[in-house]
Structures are given as C-alpha cells and as structure tokens.
Amino acid sequence: MTRQHDKFARAKMRAQLKSSCKTCGCAASTCNCNFKKPVTTSPLTSDCVVVNSVVCSKTVQKVAEVTLPLALFAAGLTVEDIIGVRVDPNLTGATVNARLINDKVVNIGLIPATITITALGIEVPLLTTSIPFQAHTDCPGACPEDLLQEGPLQVEGIFVQPGVPVLGLGGLTLVEGILIKIILRTNITVTRQLIKNQHGELCDANPNRCTVIGTPPTFVFPAPPNGGLLGGGGGGGFPTPAP
C-alpha cells in the first residue's frame, strides 16, 4: 500500500511540474526562465570615442569694486558722521559672463549689493546697486573653442574705505566718497574634446580651435535685468536708494 501511495505521489508531482513549466516553454523538471529582456545596442560606425581632457583647473579671485559719493546716500553726510557701514551682496542675483581667448579666461560681471550706512544724527536710507567685477586668469594652452566650466561664487571678504575722493553728482568737482570692495572666489575648469582610438591614441577633435583668423573678436555681453551699476533698469542716473 505504501509503495502504491509513493508511486502515486511521484506521478502527481511530475504532472504538476510539467504543468507549471508550460508558461515558460520548458519540459524539464525545474523551470529556468529568463524574464529579462535582452539588452540590444546599436552598431557603432567607428571604434573611436570622444573624451574630455583638462587644459587647466584652478581657484581664482574676482574683485568687485565701486566708489560712490557720500551725498548719494544722504544730503550733508560726511566721513566724520559715519559710525558703521554694512554691505550685503546678493550672490544669487549676480550677472556672470566669461569667455575664453588664447591662454586666458576673461570674467566680467555685476553683483547686486545693498549698502547700509549708520551715521551720527543723520537718517541714511538703504542704497541698492550693482557692483562690477572682473578677472583675467592665465590658462596656458586654452583656446577659444575649448569648454569652460565655472563654480558658484563665494565671498571671501568685504572692504569699505570712507574718505576716497570721487567725482560729485554734477561730475565737475571731487567730493568725499566711499569705496566698496568685495573679494569673490570661484573655481574654473577648461576642458578640450579629444578623439581616442582603440589603441589609446589621442587627437584633437578640432585641430583649428586655437587659430584666430583676421581681427580678434569683440565680445559685448548682455546687460543685467536691473540696469546694472546705475540701477533703475534704464541704464541712466545713479543708484537708487531703497524706500
């Protein structure tokens, strides 16, 4: 009875295995199905690939600087009245322009800033303007057709010097002014696309990238939305004090 029972049990198991394998098309006692779709790749017409080679990578400083007449902040304000000065640069609103020329990276831009002067016996309103900055960084081997990447700006230091002579509002005489200087830091990386063959040999993807034909180009950058250094959006006048 036991033998007959075991024989019946084995026959039942084989039937179940055979039935379960119908879904994957196999007739073996165990299923070994591959449910992953095979990965297909498009055939390449060349055994070469493009790689990026670093030409230069360095940390650079940029200096934003402007000198403003004290009368722009409040009528009758003098150096002797100043108790303190606070400068709050707006890095997120900075206008940053950069271009590559042979062996150099040229940076020009503007950084919005709010200037607060605390004076003795005089109420001085806030003044918001945009302060220009620039930097020329040596990058030996760099060419105009290379690729330039630049990291976010960081403020290293802010310097204020009251008492600097500057042209007055009329533009005819020198008056007392205040110099604002912001030291900025960032990282620049210049890369170049090269073609690499199956033997590891490299050649330039653009062999004429360093060739300048005729007169060197003049770069005219777009003005910032707020009108830049002069504020007000119209490109004229002087920085406008905040209400």
- The answer to whether 73 and 239 have CB atoms below 8 angstroms apart is no
- Stronger pLDDT, 218 or 128, i.e. the higher one: 128
pLDDT at residue 147 greater than cutoff 90: yes
So what's the pLDDT on residue 25?
41
Helix (H, G, I), strand (E, B) or coil at 49: strand
Distance (Å) of CA 96 to CA 49, 73, 92, 110, 158: 33, 27, 11, 7, 19
Distances (CA, A) of 172 to 66, 115, 142, 143, 167: 19, 25, 44, 44, 7
**What's the longest Cα–Cα distance across the chain?**
124
Residue 160 is encoded by which pair of tokens?
A: 């204020």
- pLDDT category of residue 40 using cuts at 50, 70 and 90: low
Q: 105 falls in which pLDDT band (50, 70, 90)?
A: very high
The pLDDT of residue 21 is 43
pLDDT of residue 171: 76
CB-CB contact of 111 with 123 (8 Å) = no
- Nearest to 224, CA basis, from 127, 92, 90, 93: 93
Asked if the model's pLDDT at residue 20 lies above 80, the reply is: no
> Is the pLDDT score of 235 beyond 70?
no
pLDDT of residue 186: 94
What pLDDT, on the 0 to 100 scale, is given for residue 168?
Answer: 82
Supply the pTM of this predicted model. 0.69
The answer on pLDDT for 56 being more than 90 is yes
